[in-house]
Amino acid sequence: MIQIIPAIDLIDGKCVRLSQGDYTRKKIYNENPLEVAKLFEEFGIKRLHLVDLDGAKLGKITNLGVLETIASKTSLVVDFGGGVKTQEDFSSVLNAGAQFVAVGSVAVKNPEMFAFWIQKFGSEKILLGTDVNNRKLAVSAWLETTQIDVFDFLNAKIKQGISTIFCTDIAKDGMLGGASTELYAQIIDAFPTINLIASGGISSVSDIELVEKIGCTGVIIGKAFYENKIQLSDIKRFI
């Protein structure tokens, strides 16, 4: 059974969504992320994907207080990412109550630091984020596209012990146009032992069914919930 993982994206401590990672295309959905998290929890959701968009853009954690509040006032298993750059950052996220640290840019731009984190904290504490633009990795809140092929990158990180990965196709994110199922199927075919979490573009229950069918173990859903494209009642059988 695929795991449903709602996303709460944070700017200025508020629950927002962007379109294709564009900070100028921001919509505020709730000024109290704890309210949103509790709604998910009350319905039976177990996981939460918490993204510090300020931190991702500025390169330093900015919304740690929101993580602390949600982790202390709900029983949700939370992963948190955005602006995690140092060993101290990684420790502070875990100490604030996250069970996993979502890491993207550092794994690409500072592989030595990433390798150190695996050694010190364990690969099981890392949720590796791969943000993809035409199969090339994007970093720094998607403001920079590299020439690194996602398959080469994943091959290297899996050899280091990483087993759980979420992949976002930037062209799909926030557009409610369906998931990047072809890319996900290719990744699972190339790396059948990983746990791949689909992210971006999910707009209907049929999208969830599609990514489950190709072998994704989880699916991150954001805008579809906030725009009422998917009702919580629609996903009851996945809970």
Q: Is 54 a catalytic residue?
A: no
Q: Give CA–CA dist 111/114, Å, rounded.
A: 5
**Cβ–Cβ < 8 Å for 61, 89:** yes
Contacts 24+ apart (CB under 8 A), 233-236: 234/205, 235/4, 235/205, 235/208, 236/44
Residue 231's Cβ-count burial label (10 Å; 0-12, 13-18, 19+) is exposed
Residue 138's Cβ-count burial label (10 Å; 0-12, 13-18, 19+) is buried
Catalytic entry in 89, 131, 173, 207: 131
Q: Is 22 a catalytic residue?
A: no
Under 8 Å CB-to-CB from 151, ≥6 apart: which residues? 135, 186, 187, 190
Q: What residues act catalytically? A: 9, 131
